[in-house]
């Protein structure tokens, strides 16, 4: 390249337009003369065609967040964007989204076909197109041949499929689902989780799902936002959130997790926590994190990652001593509750892959061990 030539100018790639975007969204209410913050400063981008879940306990702000996306609530501050357009203040019936609630709100005097066709008829869609679109959608939700049945003649799972078909037949850009499986029994709920994901992939539109059930979120979601006290504590894929929880709340809320703590006795790429005689607890320090000797540190390790036995574990593994306080046989696994010498309560899930015989019984002194890679550091203030 000569002095007179200039380097080619490379334009930054355009940022893809999100299906749904929240920017600094807040929602406050006045209750008994006091201002209560339900949602606090939420920033969020949901991609086109994504199955996205808002997960958290009751009162964490997840349903309020969804209602602001739908237009049923106006944010106190911040903005809501749908496909790049600012819809803050736009009424719900003017937004290109549909919502499915826990109560399916089907019309009991109408049959399946009429329930699904209701919205199309209100829009004045021609009869031939209604027949075609309703028939196609009933095929997607596996209700073909049940067009003439009324809601009372359907199971709970079938009623839920009718509610989905009614929402999807309008071809919304996004579908919002507020705990739609909550009224179903456990086995049917598990079946419908798989069905919901299949339907979402088949229709290809954005699903935003609100739930307090972490297994539902892990089963269906491309990404999950874990909410607590009006804020997003962690945002990531199911694997990221389960394997690498960012806070004590996420570690405890997503599945079962064991929290162990102690003072740092040595630090490098891994922190070594002080323990009892012949015990060793190590945790990798990820993302450039640094700790000092003497600092208090907590780590989390999942129950299925921990081994249990009467003999001292191999070198290279984390190891602590403890006493078995409870043994619960669950068929596919046996759960052991162990109190460590330091007083921490630890749960171990051991798969009954080769034998259903107990490795230890209540009152036994045991060793717990795991690969240091399965430890994940959580600062006590997080």
**pLDDT, tens only, 161-216:** 899 899 899 889 999 999 888 877 888 888 888 888 998 998 899 999 999 999 99
Convert the pLDDT of each residue in 117-139 to its tens digit: 998 998 899 999 999 999 999 99
Q: How large is the average pLDDT for residues 62-69? A: 96
The rounded distance, in Å, linking the Cα atoms of 174 and 177 is 10
- Tokens for 116, please give them: 């699904």
- Spatial CA neighbour of 231 closest among 365, 357, 8, 54: 54
Task: Report pLDDT digits (tens) over 214-243.
Answer: 999 999 999 999 999 999 999 999 999 998
Query: What count of Cα atoms within 13 Å lies in the side-chain half-sphere of residue 90?
Result: 15
Domains contained in the chain, CATH given: 20-248 (3.40.50.300), 256-378 (2.40.50.100)
pLDDT above 50 for 5: no
Closest C-alpha to 250, from 226, 280, 214, 217: 226
Strand duo 174-178 + 97-100: pairing: parallel
Q: Is the overall model pTM greater than 0.75, yes or no?
A: yes
Can you list the positions of beta strands (E) in the chain?
20-31, 34-46, 51-55, 77-82, 85-86, 97-100, 174-178, 206-211, 223-228, 231-236, 258-267, 270-273, 281-284, 296-301, 307-309, 318-329, 333-340, 345-351, 365-370, 376-378
Residues 264-276, mean pLDDT to the nearest whole number: 85
**CB of 82 closer than 8 Å to CB of 173:** yes
């Amino acid at each position: 390249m000569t002095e007179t030539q200039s380097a080619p100018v490379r334009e930054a790639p355009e940022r893809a337009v999100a299906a749904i975007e929240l920017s600094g969204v807040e929602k406050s209410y006045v209750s008994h003369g006091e201002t209560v913050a339900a949602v606090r400063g939420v920033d969020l981008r949901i991609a086109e065609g994504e199955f996205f879940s808002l997960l958290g306990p009751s009162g964490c702000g997840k349903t309020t967040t969804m209602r602001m996306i739908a237009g049923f609530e106006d944010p106190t501050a911040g903005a809501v964007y749908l496909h790049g357009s600012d819809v803050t203040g736009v009424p719900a019936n003017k937004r290109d989204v549909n919502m499915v609630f826990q109560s399916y709100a089907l019309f009991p005097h109408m049959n399946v076909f009429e329930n699904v066709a209701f919205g199309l008829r209100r829009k004045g869609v021609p009869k031939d197109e209604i027949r075609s679109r309703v028939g196609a959608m009933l095929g997607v939700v596996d209700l073909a041949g049940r067009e003439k049945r009324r809601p009372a003649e359907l199971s709970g799972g079938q009623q839920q499929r009718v509610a989905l078909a009614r929402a999807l037949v309008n071809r919304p850009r996004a579908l919002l689902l507020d705990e739609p499986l909550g009224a179903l029994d456990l086995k049917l709920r598990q079946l419908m989780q798989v069905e919901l994901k299949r339907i979402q992939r088949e229709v290809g539109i954005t699903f935003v799902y609100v739930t307090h059930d972490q297994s539902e979120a892990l089963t269906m979601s491309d990404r999950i936002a874990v909410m607590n006290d009006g804020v997003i504590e962690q945002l990531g894929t199911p694997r990221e959130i389960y394997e690498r929880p960012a806070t004590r709340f996420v570690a405890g809320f997503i599945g079962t997790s064991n929290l162990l703590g102690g003072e740092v006795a040595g630090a490098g790429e891994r922190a070594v926590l002080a323990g009892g005689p012949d015990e060793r607890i190590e945790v990798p320090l990820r993302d450039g994190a640094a700790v000092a000797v003497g600092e208090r540190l907590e780590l989390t390790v999942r129950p299925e990652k921990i081994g249990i036995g009467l003999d001292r574990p191999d070198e290279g593994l984390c190891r602590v001593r403890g006493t078995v306080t409870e043994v619960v046989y669950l068929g596919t696994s046996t759960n052991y509750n162990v109190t460590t010498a330091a007083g921490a309560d630890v749960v171990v899930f051991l798969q009954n892959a080769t034998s259903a015989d107990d490795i230890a019984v209540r009152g036994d002194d045991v060793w717990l061990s795991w690969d240091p890679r399965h430890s994940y550091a959580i600062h006590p203030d997080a």
